[in-house]
Amino acid sequence: LLQKPDNKACADCGRPDPDWASVTLGVFLCIDCSGVHRNLGTHVSKVKSIQLDQWQLEHLMTMREIGNAVARDTWERCLPPSNRRCTIRDDPVLREQWIRAKYERKEYTDTPESAQLRARYLSGMKEGFLSKKGKDNAKWQKRFVILNGDKLQYYQHEKDVPKDCRADNPKDSLPLLATTISVCSQKIEKPYSFQLTYNRRNYFFAAENGQEMVDWLNAIRAAKAKCLGIDEAVGDPAQMAKIIDHLNSAFALEGWLEKQGPQEKGWKRRWFALHDSVLLYYKQPTDAECLGFIQLGKRSQGYSVEENQKLPLGFCFSLITQRRTYSLRAESRDLVRAWIEALNLAIEKSQGADSAAMCEDDD
């Protein structure tokens, strides 16, 4: 059974070589997803180890009759194209909510009840209270948020929203097509938090629970998809692929690096985030504003990245731009390779650097 192509990867996140299974749902699972299944309760999913547990004949018959391919056709039959499937690298909250949506809430099956569940976010319109982190401090405060059409707006209080026009005088307004969405609960000490980035400014929001957080993320993705013309793209695989690629646009890589200043007088620890062809750096990962950013250009314009073994103390690499060479240091050789790979890919995809758009400080 494990030699069948669809059974060679986890049914929920795609991790290769699953070593667990749900003998009630008939799917093969990785160890991380099996833990979520176990929390669903045996009335939903009964989990067994492929190697360690004893199997009854009826369990084998269930796995043979169903398997990952048939299960996917059942539990993901009505998965909206704007929704995002779980991946190996996903935040634990996203993994849990993906699995609960599939098997517990039956959100993507072909039933009227499931259609009502999807309607919570597929309209691309949503409003309600979320906690928001202050721009200049770590204080979280309730804000009334409205997702409507092509923008997301938030107000200090619901009473601040005009009854006749719910778009006047918001505290801030973010155009969706220029806004990046990412889950950040692993880098911020606030459960169920997510990050919106617009014009190099980070906005941090948090929901009350995992399902509410995912509902907001799905609603924002659905609204962006409508703006991109997803309804008209049905039947056009190439255009649909472009839209999905835009929806999945996020930070390619984030993490701590040490950066040498322009005068080469020491190293400073900074949080780096790579998005498309822009490398931003912050003093802290939860800062609203970046200290600076580097607009990457094409290789033909002189942009490149390479490992630098000449620098002492640690695992170093150099990012070469038109204006200067950045000396960067990671905590391991594996991280150096990950950053070099991500930066090379960004340089290959770059549309070219505009020197007027480059912002560098003396950090």
Which pLDDT score is estimated for 186?
73
Residue 351: per-residue pLDDT? 73
Residue 233: the pLDDT is: 82
In 3D, which of 317, 311, 318, 319 has the Cα closest to residue 336? 317
CB crowding 164-185: b at 16 or more within 10 Å, else e: eeeeeebeeebebeebebbbbb
pLDDT of residue 55: 92
Residue 216's pLDDT is 96
CA distance 156 to 159: 8
**pLDDT attached to residue 188:** 85
Q: Is residue 6 within 8 Å of residue 72, measured between CB atoms?
A: yes
Instruction: Give the residue from 128, 159, 121 showing the smallest Cα distance to 144.
Output: 128
DSSP 321: -
Two tokens at 236?
């056009």
Rg, C-alpha atoms of the chain: 23
- Please name the helix (run of DSSP H) or strand (run of DSSP E) that holds residue 357, with its range, or none: none
- The helix (run of H) or strand (run of E) holding residue 141 is strand 140-148
| Cα distance between residue 193 and residue 180, in whole Å | 14
Check: CB of residue 272 under 8 Å from CB of residue 279: yes
287-330 per-position pLDDT tens digit: 999 999 999 999 999 999 999 877 667 799 999 998 889 999 99
Supply the pLDDT for residue 356: 41
Q: CB–CB of 225/218 below 8 Å? A: no
DSSP, collapsed to helix, strand or coil, labels residue 239 as: helix
Q: Residue 9 has what pLDDT? A: 97
User: What pLDDT, on the 0 to 100 scale, is given for residue 168?
Assistant: 65
Q: Quick: pLDDT tens for 168-214.
A: 678 899 999 999 999 987 788 889 999 999 999 999 999 999 999 99
Classify strands 278-282 and 179-183 as parallel, antiparallel or unpaired: unpaired
End-to-end CA distance of the chain: 57
pTM for the model stands at 0.88
Which residues of the chain fall short of a pLDDT of 70? 160, 162-168, 264, 311-312, 352-363
CA–CA dist 288, 184 (Å, integer): 13
Which of the 8 DSSP states describes residue 347?
A: H
